[in-house]
Amino acid sequence: MKYEPNRIKVDFGSYRHYWRGVKKIGKSTMFRDIVKEQYGHTKYGLLISTGNETGYKALDDVYAHETPTWKSLVETIDDLVKNKSDNEFRVVGIDTIDEMVAMAMQEVLDVHKSRTGKKAKSINDALGGYGAGKKYIEKIINEQITKLERAGYGLVFIGHCKLRDVKEKGESEPYQILTSNLDANYDNIFADKADIIATFITDKIVKDNKITSKDRFIVFRDDGYIDSGSRLAGMPDRVPMTAKDYLKAFHEGVQASKNTFATDEDLEEMRKAEVSQREQQSQEFIAQAKDEKDENNLTEEEEEALIPMDELRPMLNKRCSELGGTKNQLLMATLTRFAEGGNFNKIKDIKTLNDLWEAVEALN
């Protein structure tokens, strides 16, 4: 049948989880513990430690890999995709997305300098300005997230949070919310895709001006002060901060979202089938990606050096206009050499479009 109803997923790795919390509250520990609790062993989860984030070093029995630069992050993700059969990872955690964004920002500045020979004054000034730098950051982060997801890995985004002042239109006084440490533009890259946004907090009980106890909780529901949320309507508002309680809340949300009741045994069978299906789909994606690379016959270095097609087309438009457009016979001859009728918008191969750009850029 061409169209079929959606069946709710039941495996932890079928959803995108976004965790926010203050430093050292235990987010990385939670990743390790949930992988072990859900899949039976920590070998089924990989924590990608981004930039200067190396908190995993205080954790025993966690599988982690450092990626201090954007290039090393891309290389790691490419390896996870191309050589998926070499590992048993079912879930990948990015720890932290704050550092991932910082690396992406530096990548934008480096790309700007390599293309123009000049340093950009800021992200807003990069790649021609008018928000192009921020759009590029969103684009390259989405590319890496998509590769991991299509390769069959479950995703956990780990970030920091802080109190922010919010002032509603028409209101004279601001109020505070506990939300992402990132600017909204960058936070939305992850929040908009997340199925579950969980905030890790510490509740302190104060008596006689002294803290008598501290209890850690995971908050799944926005209460006007803590910025959280879930697509699974049946999840509780908050639970104690343990892997078992997180998974119990998750499974309650799954059960409540199903039209028919399923026993724990039924859910486990469904989960195993789901993991198997996700693996099969990932193999199809990996094979397709390999075929596309073989068609271009490019080395990894050559592939990385190519300018993306959606960036090249406006660059070509601008350059052709500078050269006089259709009045420039040499330009038209060059365009015709690469594209039928001289219309470079018909070029579908990224290598060909890059070759055309080099030829057009060299014209006087």
**pLDDT of 45-84, one tens digit each?**
999 999 988 878 889 999 999 999 999 999 999 999 988 8
Torsion of CA 301, 307, 310, 314, to 10 degrees: 180
**pLDDT band for position 295 (50/70/90)?**
low
CA dist., res. 150 & res. 279, Å (int) = 10
Interval 89-97 mean pLDDT = 95
Q: Looking at residue 37, what is its pLDDT?
A: 95
**In contact, 20 and 198? CB cutoff 8 Å:** yes
pTM of the full predicted structure?
Answer: 0.79
Q: What is the mean pLDDT of the chain?
A: 87
Q: Looking at residue 361, what is its pLDDT?
A: 85
Contacts of residue 264, defined as CB under 8 A and 6 or more positions apart, other chains included, come to none
Interval 268-291 mean pLDDT = 79
Q: Looking at residue 298, what is its pLDDT?
A: 64
Strand, helix or coil at 347? coil
Question: 3-state SS of 183-239?
Answer: CHHHHHHHHCCCCEEEEEEEEEEEECCEEEEEEEEEECCCCCCECCEECCCCCCCEE
Structural domains in the chain, CATH included, are 12-293 (3.40.50), 307-361 (no CATH)
**pLDDT band for position 311 (50/70/90)?**
confident
